[in-house]
């Protein structure tokens, strides 16, 4: 579904990603792991055309996107849940969710049934400002906003960061359901190796902006984790 070849990415003169190669099949969860500062967030931003400059190749369903702007990538079927969530605090829950629907190509501007199924609290409080929600509820809102675009590929950047422990397991269950039941392909940046091993089909380990190890999830050994993730 997604093929990334020789991907280079820059912030100004800073060369962050160096020759990234990834293959993600339809229906997979690929987890991108590594220490802080290794380029994981930059990889997701590059896939969404949110860095200053990039080169290489990004094919989604056979369509080349490396020169496409962010809105065209969203309309091609990529949705992004950024680190920190970035919901608009003064917008209501409804307004935040419907922002995602503007990426749809069929003109539909409605809240999908899947959002109502996964996030009943949000549906029960559609007129509440997003800024009044807890961190976990804002993460749910950010995911709901992404789902309103009806994406083929969902990019999640550390969705459990800064969330109360009681909500972490719920977010993890939702990610697995989106993949297994809704059939959404996922690229997940995540530090929780136990969850990575439980949920993922494949992994890619980043170090200094390059992929240093990748493969099926059962090849993610403790030795690899210790070598590339232990501080």
Instruction: Say yes or no to pLDDT of 231 above 80.
Output: no
Q: What is the mean pLDDT of residues 2-6?
A: 98
Q: What is the mean pLDDT of residues 174-195?
A: 95
Looking at residue 167, its pLDDT comes to: 86
φ/ψ of 10, rounded to 5, equals -135, 145
**Whole-prediction pTM:** 0.95
User: If 0-12 CB within 10 Å is exposed, 13-18 middle and 19+ buried, where does residue 201 land?
Assistant: middle
Range of the domain at 6: 2-229
Looking at residue 164, its pLDDT comes to: 84
The structural domain count of the chain equals 1
Q: What's the CATH number where 220 sits?
A: 3.40.50.300
pLDDT tens track for 106-154: 888 999 999 999 999 999 999 999 999 999 999 999 999 999 999 999 9
Residue 147: CB atoms within 10 Å: 25
Look at residues 109, 170, 125, 106 and name the one whose alpha carbon lies nearest to residue 143. 170
């Amino acid at each position: 579904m997604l093929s990334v070849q020789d991907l280079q990415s820059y912030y100004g003169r800073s060369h962050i990603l160096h020759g990234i190669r990834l293959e993600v099949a339809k229906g997979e969860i690929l987890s991108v792991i590594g220490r802080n500062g290794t380029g994981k967030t930059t990889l997701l931003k590059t896939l969404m055309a949110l860095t200053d400059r990039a080169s290489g190749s990004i094919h989604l369903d056979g369509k080349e996107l490396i020169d496409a702007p962010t809105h065209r990538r969203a309309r091609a079927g990529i949705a992004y849940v950024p680190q920190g969530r970035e919901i608009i605090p003064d917008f209501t829950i409804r307004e935040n969710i419907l922002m995602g629907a503007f990426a749809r190509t069929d003109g539909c501007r409605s809240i999908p049934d899947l959002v109502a199924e996964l996030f009943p609290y949000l549906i029960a409080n559609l007129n509440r400002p997003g800024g009044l929600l807890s961190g976990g509820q804002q993460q749910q809102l950010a995911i709901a906003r992404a789902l309103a675009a009806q994406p083929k590929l969902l990019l999640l950047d550390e969705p459990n960061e800064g969330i109360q422990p009681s909500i972490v397991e719920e977010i993890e269950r939702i990610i697995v359901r989106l993949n297994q039941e809704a059939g959404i392909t996922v690229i997940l940046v995540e530090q929780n190796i136990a969850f990575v091993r439980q949920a993922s089909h494949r992994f890619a380990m980043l170090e200094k902006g390059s992929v240093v190890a990748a493969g099926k999830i059962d090849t993610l050994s403790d030795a690899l984790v210790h070598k590339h993730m232990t501080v």
